[in-house]
Structure 1
Amino acid sequence: MSAHSTEPARLEFGVLGTAGIADKAVVPAIAASDHAVGAVASRDADRAASFAARHSIPRSYGTYEALLDDDAIDAVYVPLPNGLHGEWTKRAADAGLAVLCEKPLAADAAEARAVADHCDRRGVTLMEAFMYRYHPRTERAVELAATELDDVRTVTATFRFPLSDRPNDVRLDPELAGGSLMDVGCYPVSLARTVLGAPDRAYAHTGDTRDAGVDTELAGVLAYGDGRSARVASGFDTRHVERYRVDATNGWVAVENAFDAPADERLELEYEIDGRRRTQ
């Protein structure tokens, strides 16, 4: 590449873990881009090798540390359980690597601030992997809310799905920052903050229907000083629902199947502004 080229540098990614989201979505997405996955690591060397063979990844490791020591790696993707995100993001930053970390970035707000500050001090790029935020449909909804809706007053957002009863599910492990808020409720919260900004106060009611020590159901309110609000909900006990709606004084925007982008589904948004309803 010439010194004056405006082409982005080709990055070689390492993947810390063999989670389903990496297997089904992120690794194929990287492979379809101008970048590449050069290595994968797991605490189980055989699992890492199998994952690498399935995706034609040239190198696999039986420890996360070994991948961070791989000099060919430029950036890492971290799809580990929630409670491990902060630690391994900081360790990747210590190795001088850019980090794409699965949501949520950390187990709580204090750890998230510490992780972001740590990466800033190390001079590495850090990004939280909220794919939906960069989907054209979301970008259009946010654009409508910002430019065509007058005085947005409320956001209502929900992400629920029926979690199976498989044993040892990390989503039900309090030591690994499990729970519906951390797993899927972070999407409604992200959407609400994208549209309305940071709230003045937050309230929540939770339930633990499985005696797991985590929230399996959550209903929350983000409150703003001027009377605006967002209502968010998440859970593991109902049918699959992903939706949000933004209401303003002159109309609304609504999106179904809001936080995923299945390749085999037609993705639309509906909105009404000054009495005119449209679907895009």
Structure 2
Amino acid sequence: MVDDRKEVLPLRIVAARFISTDDQTGLAELDRITAEAWRIIQKRYWIWTSSFMTTAVVTAGAVLIGGALTVGKAPGADLATLLGLGGAALMIAIGASWRVFQYGGMKARSPQSPVYADPSDLAVRNLERLFAILQLESTPRPFYYSRNGARRYVDHRYFFGKLRAAHVAKDNTIRSALFGPVGLWFDRELFLEADIDKLIADAKAEPNRAGAPKKYDYTDAVISLIEHPEVRAIDITKKRGNQTRIIELLEDWYDSRRREIPSRTQLSSYAKQILETIAKNRSSKP
């Protein structure tokens, strides 16, 4: 019997539905998360590729020179050959280091902490709940399409790596930096056939309800000030300076998450409410 509730969707769309009940909102959040992941690894990946390519060029040069010297029976052939062999060994070590970075070793044995994870970010938590499900052998396996249209299923260990957000990136910019648990680069677009609603329920994900996306996340910004040491130290009897300091703390929160910072006029009303609440709570204490 065919399960009518199953859908075949790009894994990126599945991830978006884990994040929000509105696909477009979820996709926008995915773009934000994957952009942050790429920002974190970009410099490291550039250094790695530069090191690998430089070593490859030096190795090739040493091998060619060694070969020419050997043919000409000139001195130095053995040294050039040794340099070529040393370069080849170094290339292997550099290549292996990128796999070790992603999977914690040459083999993908257990899930690694993702480089982009912010525990306070609801979208990230929901995305990680999807990956936690995909890391199980009992879960329906994602797949990609081969050139002849056949499905090629991927192992659950593909979602163990620190860069697993690459699997749901919009393009292959970040996927180009991804190693699979076997082989080398893996930048295929993945699909999943499953009952997505059941998958969300099984993962205990909490997709954000559909609605107009908020430009500024005031709620999380305000919550971040609860028990903040500088807020606790505020002298509520002062008439000046407190509101400005609250605004600065809110600005710091947005800046630390690389989000657009609201104007001070917009933040001032929240700062005023925060100070009024602090004053009320402190006055009620015996």
TM-score normalised by L of structure 1: 0.22
Which entry has the higher C-alpha Rg, 1 or 2?
A: 2
TM-score normalised by L of structure 2: 0.22
More helix per residue: 2
